Structure 1
Amino acid sequence: MSNYTPEPDSRTESEHYHVLGATLSITADAETTNGEYLVLDMLVPPMFENGLHTHEPSEVFHVIEGEARLHVDGRDRMLGPGASGYVPGGEVHGFANEGDEVCRVIAVMTPGGAEDFFREVGQPTEDRSLPEPVEPTEEILQSVFAIGERYGFEFLGPLPERVA
């Protein structure tokens, strides 16, 4: 899985970060959108989840490739290619790729401003390939949680078992 690289494109100004095994590309941020939104182009490896959490910006997830589980307000929704899911600001939610294939998702957060969280927790990378899989240690997770708190993220634990 770690050698997955999407087709080349013209986004030469995107910033790429490895975050807990996923690759996030910041394609638009608060600075370039007058504070209105943040756009992340994400490569999500199999069996990845970001856990239950909250943040003030609203968020839209749009799946390009693969399938993703979006858990919002105690309910699950499976999103396949071309499907979108919405998370109101402040709502408890989480996202996971429970499949065997890489999932590519566009996430838009509004208003913008959360990009510095991803810049701080991620490791910059020159390209959009996935890193080697990582098993986050308690120390790494506590660091992510502390950084998130500074940016208005609250982490609440793993996603619950899937519900219909």
Structure 2
Amino acid sequence: MADTTSTFASLPADDLSRGATLVDPDGPGLTHLAIGPGTYTILFSGSQTGGAYALIDMLVPPNSGPPPHRHDFEEMFHVLEGELEVTFRGETMRLKAGHSLNIPANAPHGFRVASATAARFLCLCVGPGQEEYFETVGDPLPSRTAPAPALSPEEVTAKRALALSLAARFHSEFLPPPH
């Protein structure tokens, strides 16, 4: 029988300063943000995961989604409800409930909700930081299902300008729309 104890000898000790964290997306104490017409709920931030990742619950209405962009972190989508059209490096694919998709770091991509109803999906960002970007550009909301505030055209323009001006600070880049 092989000695397996040496296999694990290089693992660090359990970090007892960190505990398990259980969240209810509809429970108290979470950050809910209006990002465009969608509601993004920060389930786990980088500060809660030892800097490993951030997990965001996204509820986005039909025909909505970000413009083409890219960033220096891995991003994974897991669709819970509805459907997304994700464009990755110029190719469009449809994700339905139960589908998951990984986007490699630095790859151009974007998404749009393709279902007649809102899409709910999880967005995993490895490493974290995107949640801080959303906290900086988003508007606080009272719950995961609260609608985004109605913004005037001037407010929409100001929000877009803020998002564009801060993108590089958060290791992101917005790209021109496809032709």
Give, as a single letter, the amino acid of the residue that structure 2 aligns with 1:33. Answer: T
User: When the two structures are aligned, how many residues end up with a matched partner?
Assistant: 153
Residue 133 and residue 74 in structure 1: after superposition, are their counterparts in 2 closer, same or farther (change >3 A)? Answer: farther
Match of 2:13 in 1: none
Contact preservation (8 Å) 1:43, 1:130: no
The answer as to whether partners of 1:35 and 1:112 remain within 8 angstroms in 2 is yes
Q: CA deviation at 1:10?
A: 5.8
CA distance in 1 between partners of 2:176 and 2:60 (Å): 19
Q: TM-score, normalised by structure 1?
A: 0.85
Q: State the partner residue of 1:52.
A: 68
What code does the residue aligned with 2:168 have? E
Among candidates 36, 44, 53, match of residue 20 of structure 1: 36
Return closer, same or farther for 1:99/1:13 CA change in 2, 3 Å cut-off. Answer: same
Q: Which runs of 4 or more aligned residues in structure 1 lie more than 6 Å from their structure 2 counterparts after TM superposition?
A: none
SS of 2:167's equivalent in the other structure is helix
Instruction: Write the deviation string for residues 127-149 of structure 1: whole angstroms up to 9, x where unpaired.
Output: 11222565674433122111222
Structure with more relative contact order (C-alpha pairs < 8 Å, separation 6 or more) = 1
Give the partner amino acid of 1:17: L
1:1-164 paired onto structure 2 within 5 Å: 11-128=27-144, 129-132=146-149, 137-158=156-177, 160=178
Match of 1:3 in 2: none
Query: Per-residue deviation at 1:9?
Result: 5.6
Contact 2:26 2:143 in 1 (8 A): no
Decide whether the 8 Å contact of 2:25 with 2:43 is kept in 1: no
Structure having the higher Rg: 2
Indicate conservation of the 8 Å contact 2:34/2:149, yes or no.
no
**Higher share of residues assigned helix:** 2
Counterpart contact for 1:13–1:27, Cα < 8 Å: no
Kindly indicate whether the alpha-carbon contact (under 8 Å) linking 1:35 and 1:111 is maintained by their aligned counterparts in 2: yes
Which amino acid is the alignment partner of residue 166 of structure 2?
I
Q: Tell me how far apart the structure 2 counterparts of residues 130 and 96 of structure 1 sit (CA, whole Å).
A: 18
Q: Which runs of 5+ in 2 are unaligned?
A: 1-23
Superposition deviation, residue 91 in structure 1: 0.6
Give the alignment's TM-score, normalised by structure 2.
0.78
1:76-96 CA-partner distances (Å, limit 9, x unpaired): 110000001110011111011
RMSD: 1.9
Answer with 95-104 or 37-46: which moved more. 95-104
Q: Percent identity over the alignment?
A: 28
